[in-house]
């Protein structure tokens, strides 16, 4: 006996003076549970075989069986039992003899982590009773036959989520006999949007099917005048993805006892999705060089990223906002928290959260890139997660903004949210977490300020409607866009909008009043800027129009600056400078065309083919300046996908991807990716070169596994051309 004692002593971790047991923040670690727990000295004649003994436990864990069907977990590609909390499930126990309720006593034990404790929810003993009470753990016998009994087990709607180990314990006069550790009876417990007592309860079945069970989504990108969309494979049910998502919470060192709370889970996940300051899942890169990694635009879904991180434990390179949001959405849906990916067009990245973006102009009216620190993202993607907010006053539950893209630190880490959408709309930005930052992303004003030689600042123009002018997500049950701007803000210029702004300012959002600066806009001349639909590799024209509403003749010294930008609005290079003098006749309009040649932009073009034009015009007679900016996204060619032969689950079929190179140059080192949840795992192929005007054809053989409507998604990536996508809906027949 003394030998075994000493080895146990060695295994114990050194205790510190602050806590009695070490932190319990790994779902993966286990403790050893004794099979025989003696009450004292065991008499010599004791034979455990004389007592009730468990021979086998049957978990009803196949996808077609009752548990996974009733708990909506039949799509998970995982052989173990997966159930949702607050809802009953069944197991069958086989004993060595018929069970006698009068004399036999047994109970179940669910354990999690290395230091299970009942008061922390990581050790759950369940006695067998006569009734199941909703809202608490319990078990009752629903069927007895020969040596077996069938139990219905109810879990608590607030219990922690993750992977539990199951033991059956039998009481004997001399001690407790337990079943052996058996990983086949491990049980995953997830959030339950179908259960009214769960914090993530969602009452609409169509919405639950979309926001929890749909494993494909759509990312809206481009810009507000030229909205583009692409599909993204969330793949939350694919093999090992559930384990990878649980690992993320271990990585973030979230105490096991806190894992029943969706607010805590979202907060730590928004930090661990990005690699800044915690070696999280995805390393962001916005500089157009993606050595030793995958270009953000080449990913077609989340599964490859999560599985690579789960196996390597190192950040996966590289991501930008829609990649962070896509992976975050997979994480949330996988654990059972309803979630959707949202795009905010013209999103303010305001470095000092004062609700104003400052663009500084020099004497000539050109933007001074040295002084201008704020930027307008063409679009920015984040997520919304659905939950109650018992930590806030009534009325702020529902959709919460969570954002895994590293923009600013929050409580010392790169994370953002959960911030109540309702609180943002009404300006109640005092409520945690990060509401002022999100409020600024959708509500800032743009100030064009001229720096005079003597150091004074003159505000030439204030644009109050440019930022956050459209906020969208994918519609429920379809692929179209749903406008949710009204969830975030009242109509521009309405009384409610003013009131919400005043409320936000009262709660500490900094907003400089106009009185601090001299501002007298030029009102009798209006300027507009339009661009022709432009295709990558072609010339296109832009038009500047002036409307002189006064009775005076004016001349306007006009300056156009064309910049190649990242989608974050940060300039890489100025490729076009053009200035001219415009004569403006009284009470009339005049238009001026400028041609943009492909030779001017092709050499420096970035992957999202985004341009940003600043137009400034100085009215010489009055010295006033007109200013505006506009983002333009080129049309990028697409991939074509088709299938050959019949599409039947379990039978081999062919998928063909085609691409024609439209550029006036040869594409080199081209990577193609193709994936489709339930049809095929991601396949990659490298092609050396595609000459101009030639067509590449790639044929793949695969065996679709799941019947039903599925989607194939493909991407093409090379240094000269990125953001090339194709997709195809396919109907897989039952065999």
Q: Where are the extended beta strands (E) located within 155-215?
A: 162-172, 175-178, 187-190
Rounded-to-integer distance, Cα 95 and Cα 28, Å: 30
Query: How far is CA 158 from its chain centroid?
Result: 24
- DSSP for 241-289 reads HHHHHHHHHHHTT--GGGTT-HHHHHHHHHHHTB-TTT--SEEE--SS-
Does 445 appear as a known binding residue? Answer: yes
Does 492 appear as a known binding residue? Answer: yes
Nearby residues of 287 by Cβ (< 8 Å), 6 or more positions away = none
Half-sphere exposure of 667 (CA within 13 A, CB side): 25
Residue with structure tokens 């002036």?
546
- The bridge status of strand 640-644 relative to strand 653-660 is antiparallel
Rounded-to-integer distance, Cα 385 and Cα 200, Å: 9
Element (H, E) at 8: helix 2-11
Which tokens is 492 given? 């521009």
- Other beta carbons within 10 Å of 291: 7
Are the beta carbons of 207 and 476 closer than 8 angstroms? yes
Rounded-to-integer distance, Cα 67 and Cα 82, Å: 8
Nearest to 341, CA basis, from 218, 488, 468: 218
Element (H, E) at 205: helix 205-208
**Could you give the residue ranges of the DSSP H alpha helices within 252-381?**
262-272, 303-312, 321-335
Residue with structure tokens 């922690």?
160
End-to-end CA distance of the chain: 61
Nearby residues of 10 by Cβ (< 8 Å), 6 or more positions away = none
Nearest to 722, CA basis, from 267, 323, 179: 323
Element (H, E) at 458: strand 457-463
Which residues are part of the catalytic machinery?
Answer: 321, 380, 403
Longest dimension (CA), the chain: 115
Are the beta carbons of 31 and 116 closer than 8 angstroms? yes
Does 528 appear as a known binding residue? Answer: no
Rounded-to-integer distance, Cα 546 and Cα 559, Å: 13
Are the beta carbons of 442 and 347 closer than 8 angstroms? yes
Half-sphere exposure of 132 (CA within 13 A, CB side): 19
Nearby residues of 434 by Cβ (< 8 Å), 6 or more positions away = 401, 410, 415, 416, 417, 419
SS3 141: strand
Q: Is-cis flag, bond preceding 141, omega within 30?
A: no
Does 487 appear as a known binding residue? Answer: no
Q: Where are the extended beta strands (E) located within 8-137?
A: 36-38, 54-58, 81-84, 89-95, 106-111, 123-129
Q: Mark the binding-site residues for Ca(2+), compressed into ranges.
A: 443, 445, 492, 497
């Amino acid at each position: 006996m003394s030998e075994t004692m000493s080895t146990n002593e060695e295994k114990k971790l050194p205790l510190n003076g602050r806590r009695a047991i070490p932190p319990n923040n790994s779902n993966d670690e286990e403790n050893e549970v004794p099979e025989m727990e003696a009450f004292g000295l065991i008499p010599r004649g004791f034979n455990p075989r004389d007592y009730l003994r468990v021979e086998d436990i049957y978990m009803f864990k196949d996808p077609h069986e009752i548990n996974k069907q009733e708990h909506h977990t039949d799509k998970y590609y995982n052989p173990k039992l997966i159930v949702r909390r607050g809802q009953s499930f069944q197991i069958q126990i086989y004993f060595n003899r018929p069970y006698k309720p009068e004399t036999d006593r047994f109970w179940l034990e669910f354990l999690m982590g290395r230091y299970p404790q009942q008061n922390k929810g990581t050790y759950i003993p369940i006695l067998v009773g006569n009734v199941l009470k909703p809202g608490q753990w319990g078990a009752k016998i629903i069927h007895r036959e020969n040596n077996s009994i069938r139990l219905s087990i109810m879990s608590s709607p607030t219990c922690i989520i993750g992977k539990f180990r199951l033991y059956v314990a039998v009481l004997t006069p001399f001690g407790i006999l337990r079943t052996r550790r058996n990983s086949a009876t491990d049980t995953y417990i997830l959030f339950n949007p179908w259960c009214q007592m769960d914090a993530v309860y969602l009452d609409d079945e169509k919405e639950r099917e979309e926001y929890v069970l749909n494993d494909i989504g759509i990312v809206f990108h481009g810009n507000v005048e030229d909205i583009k969309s692409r599909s993204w494979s969330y793949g939350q049910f694919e093999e090992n993805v559930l384990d990878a998502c649980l690992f993320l919470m271990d990585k973030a060192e979230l105490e096991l006892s806190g894992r029943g709370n969706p607010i805590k889970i979202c907060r730590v996940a928004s930090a661990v999705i990005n690699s800044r300051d915690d070696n999280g899942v995805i390393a962001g890169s916005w500089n157009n060089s993606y050595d030793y990694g995958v270009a953000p635009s080449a990913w077609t879904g989340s599964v490859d990223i999560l599985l690579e991180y789960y196996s390597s434990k190192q950040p996966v390179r590289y991501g930008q906002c829609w990649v962070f949001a896509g992976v975050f959405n997979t994480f949330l849906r996988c654990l059972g928290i309803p979630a959707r990916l949202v795009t905010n067009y013209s999103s303010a990245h305001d470095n000092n959260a004062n609700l104003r973006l400052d663009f500084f102009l020099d004497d000539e009216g050109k933007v001074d890139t040295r002084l201008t620190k704020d930027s307008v993202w063409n679009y920015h993607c984040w997520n919304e997660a659905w939950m109650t907010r018992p930590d806030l006053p009534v009325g702020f539950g529902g959709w919460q903004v969570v954002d895994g893209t590293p923009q600013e630190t929050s409580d010392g880490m790169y994370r953002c949210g959960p911030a109540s959408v309702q609180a943002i709309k009404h300006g109640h930005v005092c409520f945690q977490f990060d509401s002022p930052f999100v409020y600024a992303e959708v509500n800032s004003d743009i100030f064009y300020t001229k720096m005079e030689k003597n150091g004074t600042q003159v505000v030439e123009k204030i644009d109050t409607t440019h930022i956050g002018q459209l906020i969208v997500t994918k519609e429920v049950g379809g692929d179209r866009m749903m406008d949710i701007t009204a969830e975030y803000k009242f109509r521009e210029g309405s009384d409610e909008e003013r009131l919400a702004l005043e409320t936000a300012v009262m709660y500490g959002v900094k907003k400089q009043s106009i009185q601090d600066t001299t501002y007298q806009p030029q009102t009798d001349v209006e300027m507009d800027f339009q661009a022709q639909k432009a295709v990558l590799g072609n010339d296109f024209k832009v038009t500047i129009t002036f409307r002189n509403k006064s009775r005076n003749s004016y001349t306007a010294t006009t300056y156009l600056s064309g910049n190649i930008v990242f989608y974050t609005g940060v300039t890489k290079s100025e490729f076009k400078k053009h200035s001219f003098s415009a004569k403006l006749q009284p009470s009339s309009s005049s238009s001026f065309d400028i041609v943009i040649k492909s030779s001017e932009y092709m050499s420096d073009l970035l992957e999202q083919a985004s341009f940003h034009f600043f137009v400034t015009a100085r009215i010489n007679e009055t010295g006033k300046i007109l200013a505006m900016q506009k983002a333009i996204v080129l049309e990028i060619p697409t991939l074509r996908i088709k299938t050959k032969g019949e599409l039947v689950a379990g039978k081999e079929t062919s998928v063909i991807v085609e691409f024609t190179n439209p550029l006036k140059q040869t594409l080199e080192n081209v990577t193609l990716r193709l994936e489709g949840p339930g049809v095929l795992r991601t396949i990659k192929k490298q092609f050396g070169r595609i000459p101009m005007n030639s067509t590449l054809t790639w044929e793949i053989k695969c065996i679709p596994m799941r019947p039903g409507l599925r989607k194939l998604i493909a991407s093409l990536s090379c240094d000269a051309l990125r953001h090339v996508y194709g997709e195809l809906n396919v109907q897989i027949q039952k065999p």
